[in-house]
Amino acid sequence: MSEQPPNPRKRGGATSSVHGGELRQQEANAITTPIYQTSTFWFENSEEVIEYQEGRKDREEYGRYGNPTWNAVERKLSELEGGEETVLFASGMCAATTTFLSMLKPGSHLIVTSDCYRRTRQFINDYLGPMGVETTVIEPASVAAIEAAIRKESAVFFTESPTNPYLRVIDVPETVKLAHQHDIKVIIDSTFASPVNHRALDDGADLVVHSATKYLGGHNDLLAGTITGPAELVDPIRKTLGVLGGIIDSHAAWLLLRGLKTLALRMQRHNENGLAVASWLEADSRIRQVWYPGLASHPDHETAARLMSGFGGVVTFEIETDLEGAMRFIDATRIPYQAPSLGGVESLIELPVTMSYWDQSPEQRAELGITDSLVRLACGIEDAADLIEDLDQALAQV
């Protein structure tokens, strides 16, 4: 099989989305990478087994450790992110938890931001804590808060950027500068950005995590996670994955490979729709507040404008109403599906209070900033005018 073109990381994002990581000469001269639907890989003879075990033969052995379909996705994402290596996982949560388990030992200290995915916080509290890992939770987008939280045991700073649900944007270069002075690794969950809008590795981050279920897959039809970075950090995580077994199946990997080919095009539309909808909402008197990094009113707009090339399709806003009114609004929308997740071609909408925090007390929700009328809209690639018209008529039902 022929190699990829030289210096692939110098290519444009759209070209890398289509061609990155894919062998020019596939089996039977196919254009697309095949689905290698196999659990194991056979050896020609004992000598080949020995060559493989001694690292003189680069090939696959068993389906928990690698698959040619996975490999194509991993190479493509490494090119898109500007990293040396990528590992695929069965889900974004699997990517995060496997990375934590690989990098954090009993007695080590983790710094994490408060505005992040609820299940990530749950894993930190329910699993890392009992394992002897101490955690400090800080306000997002504050380098001073990170500095105040640092201890001699601090090993990892983990955050989303943008965060969920308030879309806070981290000043990655300044964060990295501070963290590396104390030998702390910086891990950025870039799910809400995608490598099209922000390449955190270029800003010095050590590792980048994605829930590939979202923008990378792009069609609400798969679950996957990824982590990208230098080989010295990624290889131990890959070995941990081989032990824990949270692997992606080859068909889901192929769906992800197909979805990635349109990533640059889809992100352009997500960015356009997000900004158009956010701008319209901010001008509407029925809306109390809008959070979108592309708006000058967002607390991290200056940072986002400096680091990001686009601001994504997720818009968070609060309606001038109570829970019942917010539910009437959600139920009256006709284009978005009421569902969790984001990043697909179809728009999705939710009330975080009912979708993710219904089992929390009002006091717990207030502490996390989850109000009864907070809405998260993940704009798809529909026409922005249609989305706005739909929001307008739904707001009239409040």
Segments making up each domain of the chain, as ranges:
8-260, 263-395
CB 260 within 8 A of CB 77: yes
Candidates 189, 203, 206, 300; catalytic one: 189
For 205-242, the pLDDT digits (tens) are: 999 999 999 999 999 999 999 999 999 999 999 999 99
Per-residue confidence (pLDDT) for residue 295, from 0 to 100: 98
Share of the chain above pLDDT 90, in %: 85
Establish whether 11 is a catalytic residue: no
pTM of the shown model: 0.93
Is the confidence at residue 13, as pLDDT, over 90? no
CATH architecture of 8-260: 3-Layer(aba) Sandwich (3.40)
For every residue of 190-234, DSSP letters joined together read -TTTHHHH--GGGGT-SEEEEETTTTTT-SS----EEEEE-HHHH
Per-residue confidence (pLDDT) for residue 24, from 0 to 100: 78
CA dihedral sign of residues 381, 332, 163, 72: negative
Establish whether 117 is a catalytic residue: yes
User: Distance between CA 201 and CA 228 in Å, rounded?
Assistant: 9
Is the confidence at residue 6, as pLDDT, over 50? no
Name the CATH superfamily, with its identifier, for domain 263-395. Aspartate Aminotransferase, domain 1 (3.90.1150.10)
User: Distance between CA 249 and CA 38 in Å, rounded?
Assistant: 10
Candidates 75, 185, 214, 238; catalytic one: 214
Establish whether 390 is a catalytic residue: no
Is the confidence at residue 28, as pLDDT, over 90? no
DSSP H or E stretch at residue 85: strand 85-89
Burial class (CB in 10 A: 0-12, 13-18, 19+), 214: buried
Establish whether 64 is a catalytic residue: yes
User: Distance between CA 13 and CA 15 in Å, rounded?
Assistant: 5
Higher-confidence residue of 29 and 167: namely 167
Candidates 11, 52, 57, 64; catalytic one: 64
What secondary structure letter does DSSP report for 150? -
Q: 3-class DSSP state for residue 130?
A: coil
Band of the pLDDT at 115, cuts 50, 70, 90?
confident
Q: 3-class DSSP state for residue 111?
A: strand
What secondary structure letter does DSSP report for 62? B
Tokens standing for residue 274? 């997000």
For 70-108, the pLDDT digits (tens) are: 999 999 999 999 999 999 999 999 999 999 999 999 999
For 346-392, the pLDDT digits (tens) are: 999 999 999 988 988 988 888 888 999 999 999 999 999 999 999 99
Candidates 36, 75, 76, 117; catalytic one: 117
Band of the pLDDT at 20, cuts 50, 70, 90?
confident
